[in-house]
């Protein structure tokens, strides 16, 4: 391949408009100190020549790179992609993040990073050195990884921690895990359920704990007992199956179960079927995530939606604001997670009901 050069550079524009490079640069960057005459004249040349600045050159001269790095967990993401179970976390991130970036002339670059490895730092600093991003978006479980958070806080790059709570550096955005777990639990309580089981997610994710907290709060507030109703999974189908079996084969089984993600909810549905329990008549189920798959089960699952697109969009906004020098939000940003009602929830029936 022959050496490629920029087709139209700032020099061409400057020559065409008969002004200095700096003036063109000022117009590109919307700086205030340009007379409107000048601004019009230069803009005309830009449009005429179809000039677009090279982000490489912009970054080189110490300015922005217009690149925002979105980092996901490598193993889980690849596993999801290969499993082809319809998990659309990445798509929703792109929907929210990419489009918001585009609005501001930024680009989102997706990266996969291992959480576990001892060289997280090296992976991250390599990506930063290579790309020089203007901001970084962390998703769970990275958002809660102290090693990553500490490393980034020393890098002088704004970063947002999705699904996290302000407990360290960076800007946190929560998807209201505690609140939505409370809402889901209350929803069941209001229908008359008293024995509501809960399947927790992987402990590596802080949000797993908050969901448990929300459930417990709602149960306590209603005077319902929690004993024997909490089981631990790790977000996998298999772990959900085991947890559901423990809950449903106990002497006093729950009349409803909330699972901390869709895969574990699916497993619960299957275990119920095995045990001859009709859903929702014999057992109500609510799941977390609301990935596409839960609309296609029989019955479709009532689920707590994860507003990933809205969250990613907000994350981009916060980074761009921080870039501009605006102060980071002082309070925790929370994007609420709505409960989507479908067919897997009903009033309790039989002896364990209300």
Partner DNA sequence: ATGAAAGCGCTAACAT
Partner DNA sequence: ATGTTAGCGCTTTCAT
Q: Which helix (H) or strand (E) holds 120?
A: helix 120-131
CA–CA gap between residue 29 and residue 17 (Å, rounded): 17
- Closest CB to a second copy among residues 175, 219: 175
CB-nearer residue toward DNA: 25 or 115:
25
Six token digits for residue 32? 């205030």
Q: Does 151 bind a second copy (CB under 8 A)?
A: no
Contacts to a second copy from residues 27-66, by CB under 8 A: 50-57, 59-60, 62, 65-66
Smaller CB separation from DNA, 54 or 167 = 54
Binding site for DNA (CB under 7 A): 3, 5-6, 9-11, 19-26, 28-29, 33-35, 37-38, 51, 53-54, 57-58, 60-63
Which residues inside 311-340 make contact with a second copy, applying CB under 8 A?
322-323, 325
* 1: contact with a second copy by CB under 8 A: yes
Q: Which of 186, 188, 212, 195 is nearest to 254 (CA)?
A: 195
In angstroms, rounded to a whole number, what is the distance separating the alpha carbons of residues 240 and 222? 26
Q: Which of 199, 219, 309, 337 binds a second copy (CB under 8 A)?
A: 309
Closest CA to 173 of 96, 241, 103: 96
Choose from DNA, a second copy, none: what does 98 bind? Cβ within 5-8 Å by kind. a second copy
DSSP annotation of 168 reads S
Can you give the length of the chain in residues?
Answer: 354
Per-residue x/- track, 218-257, a second copy (CB under 8 A): ----------------------------------------
User: Are 199 and 259 spatial neighbours (Cβ–Cβ below 8 Å)?
Assistant: yes
Minimal distance in Å, beta carbon 176 to a second copy? 20
Strand, coil or helix: what is 123?
helix
Between helix 262-274 and helix 237-248 the angle, nearest 10°, is 50
Total number of residues that touch a second copy (CB under 8 A): 63
Strands (E), the chain: 67-73, 107-113, 135-138, 159-162, 171-174, 196-200, 230-232, 256-259, 284-289, 302-305, 333-334, 339-340
Binding test (CB under 8 A) with a second copy, winner from 15, 28, 38, 90: 90
Q: Which residues bind a second copy (CB under 8 A)?
A: 1-8, 50-57, 59-60, 62, 65-66, 78, 80-82, 84-86, 88, 90-92, 94-95, 98-99, 102, 107-110, 112, 122, 125-126, 129-132, 134, 156-158, 291-293, 296-298, 309, 322-323, 325
């Amino acid at each position: 391949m022959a050496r490629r050069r920029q087709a139209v550079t700032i020099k061409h524009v400057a020559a065409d408009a008969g002004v200095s490079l700096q003036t063109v640069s000022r117009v590109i960057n919307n700086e205030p100190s340009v007379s409107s005459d000048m601004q019009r004249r230069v803009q005309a040349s830009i449009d005429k020549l179809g000039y677009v600045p090279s982000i490489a050159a912009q970054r080189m001269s110490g300015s922005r790179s217009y690149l925002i790095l979105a980092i996901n967990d490598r193993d889980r993401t690849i596993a999801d992609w290969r499993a082809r179970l319809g998990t659309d976390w990445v798509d929703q991130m792109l929907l929210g993040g990419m489009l918001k970036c585009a609005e501001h002339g930024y680009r989102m670059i997706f990266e996969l990073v291992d959480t576990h490895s001892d060289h997280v730092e090296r992976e991250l600093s390599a990506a930063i050195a290579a790309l020089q991003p203007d901001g970084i978006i962390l998703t769970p479980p990275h958002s809660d990884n102290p090693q990553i958070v500490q490393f980034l806080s020393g890098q002088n790059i704004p970063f947002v921690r999705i699904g996290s709570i302000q407990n360290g550096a960076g800007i946190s955005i929560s998807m209201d895990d505690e609140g939505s777990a409370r809402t889901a639990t209350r929803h069941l309580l209001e229908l008359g359920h008293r024995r509501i089981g809960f399947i927790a997610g992987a402990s590596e994710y802080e949000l797993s704990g908050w969901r448990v907290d929300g459930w417990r709060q709602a149960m306590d507030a209603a005077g319902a007992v929690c004993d024997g109703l909490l089981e631990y999974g790790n977000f996998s189908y298999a772990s959900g199956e085991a947890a559901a079996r423990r809950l449903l084969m106990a002497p006093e089984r729950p009349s409803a179960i909330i699972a901390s993600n869709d895969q574990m909810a699916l497993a619960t549905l299957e275990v119920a079927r095995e045990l001859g329990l009709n859903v929702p008549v014999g057992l109500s189920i609510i799941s977390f995530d609301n990935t596409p798959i839960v609309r296609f089960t029989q019955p479709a699952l009532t689920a707590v939606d994860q507003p990933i697109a809205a969250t990613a969009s907000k994350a981009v906004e916060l980074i761009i604001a921080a870039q501009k020098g605006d102060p980071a939000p002082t309070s925790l940003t929370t994007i609420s997670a709505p409960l989507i009602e479908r067919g897997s929830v009903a009033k309790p029936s039989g002896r364990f009901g209300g």
